[in-house]
Amino acid sequence: MAKVSLLLFSLFIIVASAIINGSEAVEKVGIYELKKGDLSVKFTNWGATIVSVFLPDKYGKMGDIVLGYDSVNDYKNDTSYIGSVVGRVANRIGGAQFTLNGVHYKLIPNEGKNMLHGGPVGFSDVVWKVNKYKKDGYAPSIVFAYDSYDGEEGFPGALRVTVTYTLYPGNRLTVRMKAKALNKATPVNLAQHTYWNLGNHNSGDILSEKVQIFASHYTPVDSQLIPTGKFATVKGTPYDFLKPHTVGSRINKLENGYDINYVIDGVDGKLKKAAVVKDKKSGRVMELFTNQAGVQFYTANFLKDVRGKGGYVYESHGALCLETQAFPDSVNHPNFPSVIVYPGKEYKHVMVFKFSISS
């Protein structure tokens, strides 16, 4: 049902307005598909969003393993960042403000007094240009581009952003996010916010899925989920996933579930394994590699009565997110690695999802 709806929707294209460097441009919004081997992924240029990921299970039955919607209008009305690229600064900025080079910037808050995922109209809520769409060959790919104007959501400087999704043999999906500051120094921290359920998007909760996160420390947060600026060991806490554990094994020790940034071990700008997720029933395995220092582990704690693909209703813990990133609120913590990108320099963020089957 969901697959049929998406195929029908792919024939329907709407015209939307995109704001590029303060001027209005017309960009079509549509659905785009890449295929390689057993892996099939669909995207929309609304929010540079992953719409579906189809893979066989251990019995050879195809299934869609990401949460999503049947129409672009649903994505436009979404408040959970389902499948989208978030920015200019992902995660939270305490007090929706920061100081850079002696200038104090006040941003537009959208979660109480704080900013979340770039503000009320972040990168997840704009139309991206399709710069390149290569459906065939060794590595099918699509490139989305967005020009963020100086002052957008309160951030300084114009920023040119691209997100490239590529499929490689061996059921690998690579995400490459790049950004160039054009005229002013500015913070940049992009994240890919797909909700994964390896059992299928409509298979219920993910509490039985096994997760391993290669991180010995995490960044503790206050009651508003703003980092305190400290680092804490995962040892002896429910946050310890150095060895594989089911998501539900200790989740009841937390108020709502997991929503925390992990400090990935050994990341030095090169690609490192950040996490592994396994679903016993389907046999699907997902390995995540990144060049970023952190990964936000989120168990969809605040999903409630969200009507998704084929009318299926998503609820709390119906999926998990593994958002590789710089540390949240880095602009207000000098001891965190800097997220400031200066003109002439380029931000580069790589994610590799490798899918396989275990018995």
Report the binding-site residues.
91-92, 193-195, 259
Two tokens, residue 88: 């200019």
Helix (H, G, I), strand (E, B) or coil at 170: coil
Catalytic positions are 193, 323
First to last CA, the chain: 28
The share of the chain scoring above pLDDT 90, in percent, equals 91
Helix (H, G, I), strand (E, B) or coil at 327: coil
Q: Is the pLDDT of residue 147 over 90?
A: yes
pLDDT at 26: 66
CB contact at 8 A, 189 and 325: yes
Task: Provide the whole-model pTM.
Answer: 0.92
How many C-beta atoms lie closer than 10 Å to residue 217's C-beta?
17
Helix (H, G, I), strand (E, B) or coil at 310: helix
Two tokens, residue 71: 């129409």
pLDDT at 180: 98
pLDDT at 25: 52
Report the binding-site residues for beta-D-galactose.
91-92, 193-195, 259
Q: Is the pLDDT of residue 265 over 60?
A: yes
What domains, with CATH codes, occur in the chain? 31-205+298-357 (2.70.98.10)
Q: Is the pLDDT of residue 341 over 90?
A: yes
Please name which of 48, 4, 50, 19 lies closest in space to residue 195, comparing C-alpha atoms.
50
pLDDT at 359: 77
pLDDT at 22: 39
> Phi and psi dihedrals of 303, rounded to 5?
-70, 130
pLDDT at 267: 82
Tell me the torsion sign for CA atoms 100, 102, 106, 111: positive
